[in-house]
Amino acid sequence: MAEAEELAGTSSGQSSKNPLLTILVLLNTLLVLAVGYFQWQSHEKFANTPNVQDIVSAEMKKAMGTEEGQLQGKAIEEDGILFPLDGFTANLAQGDGPRRFVRLNAVLKFSKDSSEKEFQARKPQIRDTIISTLNSKRPEDLLQLEGKSFLKEEIRSAINAFLVDGRVIDVFYVNFQIN
């Protein structure tokens, strides 16, 4: 019986006499909390960073005279000249899986001050720009409605970058197929 009391006394005495273990547990807990805090801060910073679509939509609102999504006055439909393009077949960017391509028929709406002469002269450049833009897209990007809208804006701004007389107001898809 005395031996059992002696064993019980030494085992409980040793755990309370060893402060090194307690310090290591506290230090480890503080380290885990610090790592968690820094990960949370990193996540918050990443979540608050605007993506490309947010920036493009904000610039579009600014260009159209809108402020915080509210129209100032009435929306005005701008008249223009429609120029149909021949059909496109372009390879999409390679992702996982088989090669995919897109078939696209589009109509460009130019401003009234555009000349058909410039359109005819720049038709190869316009087609090359559209094909290059399509080649950079993945099928997953174009299967969503936002992806198709973003593609319209990319095409419009790319063509407007080299036009001299007039500008492209809108791009309309007549046929859009991904295989």
Q: What is the pLDDT of residues 65-106, one digit of tens each?
A: 654 444 444 445 567 888 898 898 998 887 667 888 899 999
Confidence of residue 156 (pLDDT cuts 50, 70, 90): very high
Q: Are residues 90 and 20 in the same domain?
A: no
SS3 175: strand
Residue 178 host element (H or E): strand 168-178
Q: Are 122 and 106 in contact (CB under 8 A)?
A: no
Using only C-alpha atoms, what is the Rg of the chain? 32
Distance from C-alpha of 177 to C-alpha of 102, rounded to nearest angstrom: 6
Question: For residue 29, what are the domain limits?
Answer: 2-47
Per the CB < 8 A criterion, the answer to whether 168 and 108 are in contact is: yes
Is residue 178 within 8 Å of residue 115, measured between CB atoms?
A: no
CATH code at 93? 3.30.479.30
Residue 88 and residue 145 share a domain: yes
- Residue 32: both structure tokens together: 């885990």
On whether residue 173 sits in a domain, the answer given is yes
Q: What is the pLDDT of residues 4-25, one digit of tens each?
A: 455 555 555 555 578 999 999 9
Output the pTM of the full model. 0.56
